[in-house]
Amino acid sequence: MKTFGLGVLAAVGGYIIGMLSGMFLIETFSSNRHDRSMEAAVTGAFVVGPLMAVVAVIVVLVIRARRAH
């Protein structure tokens, strides 16, 4: 149960960090002049955020598995 809780916490934290960093990167480096803010919001929320959430959960599971041995 503790691993599940840590996984959920890591997923939420990873999503938030990924979303904000994805938005920042798109706002900074996108050449889109028409709707850059919409591109940044959608990319952060639907691409980078979920990817970082998955990565965070995998990291937590690997760390927990290594400590179990």
pTM: 0.91
Q: 9-64, pLDDT tens digit by residue?
A: 999 999 999 999 999 999 999 998 899 999 999 999 999 999 999 999 999 999 99
The answer to whether the beta carbons of residues 10 and 57 sit under 8 Å apart is yes
Between the CA atoms of 53, 55, 61 and 62, what dihedral angle is there, to the nearest 10 degrees?
-160
Tokens of 18: 């990924």
* Closest by Cα among 56, 57, 38 to 46: 38
The answer to whether the beta carbons of residues 10 and 60 sit under 8 Å apart is yes
Q: What is the pLDDT of residue 14?
A: 98
Distance CA 55, CA 19 (A): 13
Q: What is the pLDDT of residue 55?
A: 98
